[in-house]
Chains A and B, each alone.
Chain A
């Protein structure tokens, strides 16, 4: 009986996932344009680092990174970002609330968070399918001997961490989008948080380059777990007990963000006036 209910529930969300795949496939050329465009700033950063290393004696390390490791950091970060980044979802959720589009979802036996999570997942799948070939060609063209972990345990931890990263990013974005219940214009708030994420999660540079006290403070915020942490597992910079502790903290932040998203949703619904309904 319980299994039957759960199977029916699961089927429902698989259906949403399938719909999401179809919907996102319609935008495959936009995705491709976005992937190709994102390679420009990436190329710029890689060239910038090559120039910096060229000004140093051969074999120099920066923040514990050799040139190859530094370039690998940015390439793996680009891959993790393609797999986990929230691109349109937060704007769409906020717009759904502001324009009253959630009305017709509220009357259906669907959980809005679950529904949105399926759409996010389908978006990432399509994006990855589109991005894979350009990214592989790009890595090949960059011509760095790409560092690869050999130990299957590292690969497993990396994959677990990537999934947690995706969930964490999604729940944070969902919680932020809930502000749309209270204010008309949420984009400024999203951009403010996004700015902090951009620097403190390791988009611009590996966090090992920061002064040590700052690194230690950051370790207890959710930001490094939104990008830096999985990449550092891949590069073998985080291992052993530190790795397990990191995964635990990442899981903690993911659960916290999920709870926050749920809480904000239920509080928001109480205020909801169903505009345009």
Chain B
């Protein structure tokens, strides 16, 4: 069973490589674009810290670590899930979903992982480089356990984003506007690189629990930089990931029942 799905996934990867290599220059230019925007965020932090010592309790290199982590999470999410979630509404609108439903494999698996965005792995690499440099500047006493916890929490964060975005994409079965909603959620990622302490009130609550972009990046970084005094927030993140995955699976099943093919 697992072997069969691995074989299918390998075939999807091969397809993606072929697709990207058809437009090589474009592939490279997109990497440059993402790199520029990443550099721009780092410049912003650099300029802010020319004029201040701290944002709340966050120091310069802690925020750089945060920006790096947020970029890493975003790029890995982009590599596996983003295009696929955004394309769902197109599949529904044109009726091309028929062909995926007919294949003898789990339909959610095919819809979610059909395309791989290979350029994102390159950019995730630059994010890791920045994170390593920031960690070095902070003189973090890293243990294997802490590092594993960090990676596990990043994974939970990515799954939260995937589950929520897939749920939003499932709105496609009701309205054609779903693609706009998906991109709207993706735009919120720009908040993720800001330290949670900058925000208060309803705003902080909304982007911690409802659209948890702040939670997803700040919790792993707080674990890595030893800025936490209890396991409360990591637990929240793990539970949120489990909860979101369950809800989005339920949402997908309800949505599929509504599907009436558009093409035939």
Interfacial residues, chain A to chain B (CB-CB below 8 A): 30, 33, 37, 40-41, 43-44, 47-48, 51-52, 55-56, 62-63, 185, 188-189, 191-192, 195-196, 198-199, 204-205, 209-211
Least distance between A158 CB and chain B CB atoms (Å)? 25
Expressed in whole angstroms, the Cα–Cα distance for A129 and B26 within the complex equals 38
Chain A residues closer than 8 Å to B203, beta-carbon distance = 43-44, 47
A52-B36 in contact (CB<8A): no
A47-B47 in contact (CB<8A): no
Taking each of A43, A51, A63, which has the highest tally of chain B beta carbons within 10 Å of its own beta carbon?
A51
Chain B residues closer than 8 Å to A41, beta-carbon distance = 190-191
B52: nearest chain-A partner, CB-CB? A52
B50-A211 in contact (CB<8A): yes
A188-B30 in contact (CB<8A): yes
- Contact A52 to B48, CB < 8 A, known contacts A44-B199, A188-B26: yes
Chain B residues closer than 8 Å to A30, beta-carbon distance = 180
B198-A51 in contact (CB<8A): yes
Q: Which residues of chain B from 13 to 68 have a CB within 8 Å of any chain A CB?
A: 23, 26, 29-30, 32-33, 36-37, 40, 43-44, 47-48, 50-56
B52-A209 in contact (CB<8A): no
Expressed in whole angstroms, the Cα–Cα distance for A44 and B188 within the complex equals 11
A199-B40 in contact (CB<8A): yes
Expressed in whole angstroms, the Cα–Cα distance for A58 and B54 within the complex equals 16
Expressed in whole angstroms, the Cα–Cα distance for A51 and B51 within the complex equals 13
B47-A209 in contact (CB<8A): yes
Least distance between A227 CB and chain B CB atoms (Å)? 15
A62-B52 in contact (CB<8A): yes
B183: nearest chain-A partner, CB-CB? A37
Chain B residues closer than 8 Å to A195, beta-carbon distance = 33, 36-37, 40
B198-A48 in contact (CB<8A): yes
Known pairs A33-B184, A44-B194, A48-B194. 19 more at Cβ < 8 A? A37-B184, A37-B187, A40-B188, A40-B191, A44-B191, A44-B199, A44-B203, A47-B199, A48-B198, A51-B56, A52-B55, A62-B52, A63-B51, A189-B29, A192-B36, A195-B33, A198-B40, A199-B44, A210-B47
Chain A residues closer than 8 Å to B48, beta-carbon distance = 52, 205, 209
B188: nearest chain-A partner, CB-CB? A40
B200: nearest chain-A partner, CB-CB? A47
A191-B194 in contact (CB<8A): no
Least distance between B68 CB and chain A CB atoms (Å)? 18
Does more than half of chain A's interface fall in helix, strand or loop, or is it mixed?
helix
Does more than half of chain B's interface fall in helix, strand or loop, or is it mixed?
helix
Chain B residues closer than 8 Å to A40, beta-carbon distance = 188, 191
Q: Does B226 contact A (CB under 8 A)?
A: no
A55-B55 in contact (CB<8A): yes
Expressed in whole angstroms, the Cα–Cα distance for A55 and B55 within the complex equals 7
B180: nearest chain-A partner, CB-CB? A33
Expressed in whole angstroms, the Cα–Cα distance for A44 and B26 within the complex equals 33
A190: nearest chain-B partner, CB-CB? B33
Q: Does B197 contact A (CB under 8 A)?
A: yes
A204-B187 in contact (CB<8A): no
Expressed in whole angstroms, the Cα–Cα distance for A195 and B32 within the complex equals 11
Least distance between B218 CB and chain A CB atoms (Å)? 14
Chain A residues closer than 8 Å to B52, beta-carbon distance = 52, 55-56, 62
Expressed in whole angstroms, the Cα–Cα distance for A188 and B34 within the complex equals 10
Expressed in whole angstroms, the Cα–Cα distance for A191 and B38 within the complex equals 13
B55-A209 in contact (CB<8A): no
A51-B197 in contact (CB<8A): yes
Expressed in whole angstroms, the Cα–Cα distance for A62 and B52 within the complex equals 8
